[in-house]
Amino acid sequence: MSARKSNRIGIAVVEYQRQFLIGVRDAHAPLAGFHEFPGGKCEPDESAEQCAVRECLEETGLKVTALQEIRYEEHAYDHADVQLHFWLCQPVETQTVFTDQNLKGFHWIPAKHLLDLRFPEANKSLIELLVNTYASE
């Protein structure tokens, strides 16, 4: 009998003025072409919170502060079992948030447009939460 390894994942849900930092998964990665928040596997000695902040900096170049874990999901994909820790984050430096185009392919997307994008299955309830919380008015 073979038990599948479960991966602890830290994800940065970076919000600023009701917009979120969103990228597209690499063509060679599992779930290629799906939209995603910055994130990845936690190092063995790292908390999910630390991982979310580190992955965000590595993947987008943006320094963020983690505020709170807004969602936790366990999901079995074909490629892996994952424990997803979604951390709500905010940019450390806000002055150039919308003018700095150097986000390594990530973009700021208004909350009201999140439902138009295709995210991995495990993001479903998080997206609903974000739209309900940030897309009103």
Ligand X SMILES: Nc1nc2c([nH]c(=O)n2[C@@H]2O[C@H](COP(=O)(O)OP(=O)(O)OP(=O)(O)O)[C@@H](O)[C@H]2O)c(=O)[nH]1
Q: Does 21 bind ligand X (CB under 6 A)?
A: no
* Total interface residues for ligand X by CB under 6 A: 16
Chain positions 31 to 60 lying near ligand X, rule: CB under 6 A, are: 31, 36-37, 39-41
- Say how far apart CA 7 and CA 70 lie, in whole Å: 19
Name the nearest CA neighbour of 118 among 24, 15, 29. 24
Using the minimum distance from each CB to ligand X, give the nearer residue, 126 or 137: 126
Please tell me whether residue 80 binds ligand X under the rule CB under 6 A: yes
The 8-class DSSP code of residue 30 comes to T
The answer to whether 63 and 57 are in contact (CB under 8 A) is yes
With CB atoms as reference, the residue minimizing the distance to ligand X is 40
What are the tokens at 32?
Answer: 């290629």
- Interface stretch with ligand X, choices 28-36, 63-71, 92-100, 101-109 (CB under 6 A): 28-36
Q: Which residues pair with 13 in a beta bridge?
A: 88
Beta carbon nearer to ligand X, 6 or 96: 6
Can you tell me which of 82, 88, 89, 111 binds ligand X, judged by CB under 6 A? 82
Q: Would you count residue 123 as binding ligand X (CB under 6 A)? A: yes
Name beta bridge partners: 75.
82
CB of 53 to ligand X, least distance (A): 13
Task: By CB under 6 A, name the one of 84, 89, 111, 114 that touches ligand X.
Answer: 84
Strands 35-36 and 39-41: unpaired
Six-digit token string for 62? 């943006």
